[in-house]
């Protein structure tokens, strides 16, 4: 039987990886807060997911804007990871508006300038199934690794779940191999209008299923950890539609989670 620390959480192969892995990528400023121990995943999965899947996170306009606002520093090179709100990958649909306010006070011994600077524009990302699939895989990766991290805590509730159980097979295959091909495993997003420094996973149990809610710097995302592909949308709709806040289903298309919720279909 595969064991955590000896077998890869994604492909179940024996692990050859002596590196710890970060649940939230290091480029988000995650040094030590949420780290999975050595041997949790194999080198091949770690490399593939880090280079092919995780970049979809910062291609997302909201996550990109949050990184810019928080001025997240990449510990790899100590540079600000994201400096410009509008760049080559996040072009505004029209030239951004810039508003500057300057208020100069002249004192006997100094000049004092009170300054504010605002830049405003719209980034539009058209629905593109291949990108949405990568984004979904990246969020499911973050969610499942957060779940593994929660399980490793001494106060884990419920404790000692079998992380290699068949019920996690659909999420494992989706993240690692994009299976079933040509589809998007749905997730729910409740974008917030404000940004915080908080990121936190929360596990929810529903009968025999588990969902994971990620609070990611003011963004809010939820996925099902255990639903078979064909039932994800139905389960998420049932679990999330009671909250009363506008929520969006991101799957084969974008849309409000349930009729009457959200603020109109995209």
Dihedral (C-alpha) 200, 164, 50, 25: value to the nearest 10 degrees?
20
Tokens, residue 196: 């915080």
Q: How far is the CB of 136 from Zn ion (least distance, A)?
A: 19
Q: How far is the CB of 141 from Zn ion (least distance, A)?
A: 12
Residue 134: which H helix or E strand, with range?
Answer: helix 129-151
The reply on whether position 216 binds Zn ion by CB under 5 A is: no
- Choices 37-45, 48-56, 111-119, 185-193 (CB under 5 A): range interacting with Zn ion: 37-45
Q: Please, which contacts does 120-124 make with residues 24 or more away whose CB atoms are closer than 8 Å?
A: 120/96, 121/85, 121/86, 121/92, 121/93, 121/94, 121/95, 121/96, 121/97, 122/92, 122/93, 122/94, 123/61, 123/64, 123/65, 123/86, 123/90, 123/91, 123/92, 123/93, 124/93
The reply on whether position 11 binds Zn ion by CB under 5 A is: yes
- Choices 4-12, 50-58, 96-104, 162-170 (CB under 5 A): range interacting with Zn ion: 4-12
Q: How far is the CB of 219 from Zn ion (least distance, A)?
A: 28
Give whichever of 42 and 232 is closer to Zn ion, judged by the CB atom: 42
The reply on whether position 8 binds Zn ion by CB under 5 A is: yes
Which of 4, 10, 39, 218 binds Zn ion (CB under 5 A)? It is 10
- Choices 34-42, 76-84, 94-102, 239-247 (CB under 5 A): range interacting with Zn ion: 34-42
Which of 98, 106, 239, 231 shows the shortest CA–CA distance to 170? Answer: 231
Residue 58: which H helix or E strand, with range?
Answer: helix 55-59
Which of 36, 45, 142, 214 binds Zn ion (CB under 5 A)? It is 45
Which of 4, 24, 36, 42 binds Zn ion (CB under 5 A)? It is 42
SS3 216: strand
- Choices 1-9, 186-194, 240-248, 252-260 (CB under 5 A): range interacting with Zn ion: 1-9
The reply on whether position 175 binds Zn ion by CB under 5 A is: no
Give whichever of 7 and 233 is closer to Zn ion, judged by the CB atom: 7
> How many Å apart are CA 90 and CA 95, to the nearest integer?
12
Instruction: Give contact residues for Zn ion (rule: CB under 5 A).
Output: 8, 10-11, 42, 45
């Amino acid at each position: 039987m595969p064991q955590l620390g000896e077998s890869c959480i994604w492909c179940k192969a024996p692990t050859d990886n002596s590196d710890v892995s970060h649940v939230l990528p290091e480029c988000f400023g995650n040094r030590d807060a949420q780290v999975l121990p050595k041997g949790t995943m194999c080198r091949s999965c770690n490399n593939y997911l880090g280079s092919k899947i995780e970049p979809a996170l910062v291609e997302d306009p909201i996550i990109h804007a949050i990184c810019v606002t928080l001025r997240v520093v990449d510990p790899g090179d100590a540079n600000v990871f994201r400096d410009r709100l509008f760049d080559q990958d996040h072009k505004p649909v029209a030239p951004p508006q810039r508003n500057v306010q300057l208020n100069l006070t002249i004192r006997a011994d100094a000049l004092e300038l009170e300054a504010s600077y605002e830049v405003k524009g719209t980034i539009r990302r058209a629905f593109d199934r291949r990108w949405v699939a990568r984004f979904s895989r990246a969020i499911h990766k973050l969610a499942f690794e957060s779940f593994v991290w929660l399980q490793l805590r001494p106060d884990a509730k419920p404790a000692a779940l079998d992380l290699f159980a068949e019920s996690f097979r659909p999420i494992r295959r989706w993240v690692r191999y994009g299976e079933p091909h040509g589809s998007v495993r749905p997730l729910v997003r409740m974008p917030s209008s404000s940004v915080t420094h908080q990121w936190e996973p929360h596990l929810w149990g529903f009968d025999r299923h588990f969902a994971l809610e990620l609070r990611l710097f003011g963004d809010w995302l939820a996925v099902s950890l255990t639903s078979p592909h064909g039932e994800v949308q139905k389960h998420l709709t049932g679990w999330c539609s009671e909250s009363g806040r506008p929520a969006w289903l991101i799957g084969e298309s974008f849309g409000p989670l349930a009729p009457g919720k959200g603020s109109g279909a995209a």
